[in-house]
Amino acid sequence: MAIGTWGLSGDAYGPVDEGTQERVLRCALEMGFTLVETADAYGAGRMERLVGRLVADYPEVVVVTKGGTDRTTVPARKRFDAPYLRESVERSLRRLGTRRIDVYLLHNPSESAIELGEAFDALRQLKQEGKIGYWGVSAGGPPVGRAALRRGAEVIELAYNLLHPFEVHRLAGEIIVGGAGLLARSTLAHGLLAGAWPRDRAFASGDHRADRWNKPEFERRVEQVDSFRFLVRGDVETLRAAAVRFVLANSIVSSAVLGPRTVEQLEELVREVGMGPMYLRDADLAQIPRLLEQMGMET
């Protein structure tokens, strides 16, 4: 499991005070987490600075950061030209306080940006210079992920969860053949798979979920989540534990990116998920594709 910092930054679900940000990250490192995922855009660079300061005492920790979002314009825009990426990497190196970024990912590029190839040429050059260890893409879907893998991406980050396993499944063969690492994000579907929300749940201003689902769609999602409660039995204590265990049960997943916003959330997740490797029963895993088909979801 890895610690992601989008929610912690305050950009996604509303403000998080600096003290809480530091306590959550420090607790994860003390627990033994060895991968932290962030981006230059999170908190306008503040999360990179915090991550860099805290991991300085943990040389075994892998830091993954992302770049390609130009926030000097309103609205922000995506940029993956070589000069901009080189400048972005240099800024991230300074904020992280390191000479080399372990893993550097393009942050949600379009397929057309990937096909140009300029970005990948720049990343390969930066790797040769020793400024990044491995490079890849945080992809919004299979087309971008596939294009990146075909150009030699060493790490791919994709959304992967009980409700939306399809993108990873479509790329599984290419990920395996290419030997790429796979970071699975959105493991709890922005909190939906925690299974704790009523149908009339409302989200505050500044919470991206207020715009993600309209009322009928949200009610349908809550009903779909309830269909997975058969997974909660035995040592699987909660639905959110089942959701994270589902991701970890896939052998091609290198790490499941979690996004706790409090120490309490982090501690509960770690305790509930357990140590594996028997995360979910094979018979239960076999039911999931049939259940998704019954829901009318693509498989």
* Coil vs helix vs strand at 149: helix
Residue 50's closest CA among 5, 14, 7? 5
298 pLDDT band (50/70/90 cuts)?
A: low
Residue 196's closest CA among 263, 255, 243, 250? 243
117 pLDDT band (50/70/90 cuts)?
A: confident
Helices (H), the chain: 6-9, 18-31, 46-55, 82-96, 111-116, 118-128, 142-150, 166-178, 209-212, 215-226, 239-248, 263-273, 282-294
Rounded to the nearest 10 degrees, the angle between the axes of helix 46-55 and helix 82-96 is: 50
pTM of the model: 0.94
User: Could you tell me which residues are beta bridge partners of residue 137?
Assistant: 106, 156
Q: Report domain extents, the chain.
A: 2-294
Q: What angle do CA 273, 1, 178 make, to 5 degrees?
A: 125
* Coil vs helix vs strand at 88: helix
Proportion of the chain above pLDDT 70, given as a percent: 99
Lowest mean pLDDT among 30-34, 61-65, 176-180, 202-206: 202-206
Average pLDDT over residues 213-218: 93
Average pLDDT over the chain, rounded to whole?
A: 93
* Coil vs helix vs strand at 264: helix
The pLDDT, as a whole number, for residue 60 is 96
pLDDT tens by residue, 148-197 = 999 999 999 999 999 999 999 999 999 999 999 999 999 999 999 999 99
pLDDT tens by residue, 5-15 = 999 999 999 99
Where do we find the tokens 């972005």? Answer: 88
- Residues 13, 42, 104, 279: which is the catalytic one? 42
The pLDDT, as a whole number, for residue 155 is 98
- Contact present, 61 and 35 (Cβ < 8 Å): yes
Architecture of the domain made up of 2-294: Alpha-Beta Barrel (3.20)
206 pLDDT band (50/70/90 cuts)?
A: confident
- Strand bridging mode 101-107 / 62-67: parallel
42: annotated active-site residue: yes
The pLDDT, as a whole number, for residue 28 is 97
pLDDT tens by residue, 223-281 = 999 999 999 999 999 999 999 999 999 999 999 999 999 999 999 999 999 877 779 99
